[in-house]
Amino acid sequence: MKKIWKQKEGTSSELLGRLFENRGLLSPEDIKNFLDPRYEKSHDPYLLRDMDRAVQRVLSAVASGEKITIYADYDADAVTAAAVIIRYLRRSGYDKVDYYIPDRFSEGYGMNADAIKTLAARGTKLIITVDCGINAVDAVDLATYLGMDVVITDHHQPIGPLPRAAAVVNPHRSDDEYPFKDLTGVGVAFKLVQGLIKNKGDEPASPASQGGGSAVPKGWEKWLLDLVAIGTVADCQSLLGENRIFVKWGLQVMAKTRWVGLKALLQESGIAGTPLDTYKIGFVIAPRINAAGRIEHANLALELLLTDSEDEAETLARKLSELNHHRQSLTAQILSEAREQILPRSSGKILLAASEGWPRGIVGLVAGKLAEEFFRPVLILEKGTEEAVGSARSIRGFDIVKAISRSEEILVRFGGHPMAAGFTIRNEHIEIFHRQLLEHAEEVLPEEALSPTLSYEAEIEAKDLSDEFIETLEKFAPFGLGNARPRLRVNDLSVRSARTIGNDGKHLRLTLSQNGSTFSAVAFNQGFWAAKLPVNAKIDVVCEPQFNEWNGERKVQLKIVDMDLGASGEGS
């Protein structure tokens, strides 16, 4: 689908000023904190509602020698969140802590009654949830009835009344005034660790001070930032504000990580010893962690992050890579099948496909790819004997959770974010559910919102793409949601050469020039352009200028996001 190019609006005439403005950085102080995101600038954890109650309940459990269970979701955000809290408690000398991750296939997302009963039978006295629990009213009531307290740490949107838990720590509580709302599940878990290490009066608040182990020195928690960075990037939350601090420093910590499991994963994935960035987290590390829960069980990933055995770490890292390869194969197969279902009605404002043969661990990935391809909200469902489990992915401007909630009376359960949601529904209700979504979309989703736009930040000339300029752009890293790598438009470039690359010729390698300046360029998934670009053709591009380092040599390279034949180009 052809994209409409659109320059972001802004008032600054200077390029750097425009880049800062587009990121909401309007004051010198904002810009300073962005370019120099110091850990000391992270917010006081006690600004989160119920943090004091959460800390005191954990310390009470430690002082009494109670068994603590970390209850996690099965994605990378939750797995790293569980690892953060368990690593901290172990470092403090407290070992009466275990974890529970529900099976994606037999239990589904979140807290469930059978799991709560199992934990009670195991002797758990305190459950700490990570990345889940905010809407688990019945499960928390059951836990209380069975003699357990629950401390909820979550970042999902509350849908109704809060659970009656010992503490509910979530920046999205309506009564929470925490200054940064985009914390991930691992981010909230890390704030709990910060709160445990330092209380309001800056006195140690570790389990050691309650008679439970050795003291954890101030600053030790920074060793957990590599785990925080992985979960934050994997969950696709904003990389501005406090998340930028966590990821910036987390990448540096990762290069010298203390965790043998993470070392093994970096080695197994071929990126050990290389410069680490958000791309490698998002496309190399996180998929391997997520593959465990998508294909088998997320326990495998958490065991990797918690093990202190090098042999076990190597075995688990290799296992995650194998699962990830299998996940890639399944995704390609299901993507093709779902696309066939969707194509006949692809003009609809909400697209839906369902099948009995699609693993629920894959449907979210497929929904995301199809939403990007068709530029419409997409729902992909795995149909069981009586119920279907689905994942939804949306487009900017359409709150998919709000849309789904309008059908609450026919849903078994649902939850998520404005851009991504999960739900369970009886098979006989799927069609009416789709109709209700389409009716809602007709009311709130105009046709123009379904035309994909490609935003760029400014137009520049090729002569401006100097090493010094790219070095300035690199200071904006780490890149991600809310702080994408700057996209710039360059017009009237001459094609010196164009050839396909990759095993299937999907990608394109170009040499481009303008007024004596020559650049290498690469365009992923745009190999089809090769036959349309004769030598000396003129093209306009939207690109992400960056350095390409090879064999010790560093050169400017244009990563082309989209291109078009210029006004004077052949075939225009």
How is residue 17 written in tokens? 């000023």
pTM above 0.85, yes or no: yes
Contacts of 536 (CB under 8 A, 6+ apart): 494, 495, 496
How is residue 142 written in tokens? 């059951």
Contacts of 31 (CB under 8 A, 6+ apart): 20, 25
H helix and E strand count, the chain: 18, 18
C-beta separation of 213 from 207 below 8 A = yes
Q: Which of 187, 176, 170 is nearest to 240 (CA)?
A: 187
What percent of the chain has a predicted confidence (pLDDT) above 90? 85
What percent of the chain has a predicted confidence (pLDDT) above 70? 96
1: amino acid identity, one letter? M
Average pLDDT rounded to a whole number, residues 60-74:
97
Q: Which of 502, 69, 43, 78 is nearest to 244 (CA)?
A: 43
Q: Is the pLDDT of residue 202 over 90?
A: no
Contacts of 55 (CB under 8 A, 6+ apart): 192, 195, 196, 199, 205
Average pLDDT rounded to a whole number, residues 193-215:
61
For residue 278, give Cα distances in angstroms to 37, 190, 230, 451.
16, 19, 8, 28
Q: Which of 266, 260, 194 is nearest to 39 (CA)?
A: 194
Question: Which stretch of DSSP H or E encloses residue 480?
Answer: none
Q: Is the pLDDT of residue 204 over 70?
A: no
Report pLDDT for 567. 56
Whats the size of the chain, residue-wise?
A: 572
* Cα radius of gyration (the chain): 25
Q: How confident is the model over 77-114, as pLDDT tens digits?
A: 999 999 999 999 999 999 999 999 999 988 988 899 99
Question: Which stretch of DSSP H or E encloses residue 168?
Answer: strand 167-169
Q: How confident is the model over 495-553, as pLDDT tens digits?
A: 999 999 988 889 999 999 999 899 999 999 999 999 899 999 999 999 999 998 887 78
Report pLDDT for 387. 96
| Domains in the chain, CATH or no CATH each | 39-241 (3.90.1640.30), 255-333 (no CATH), 346-450 (3.10.310.30), 454-565 (2.40.50.460)
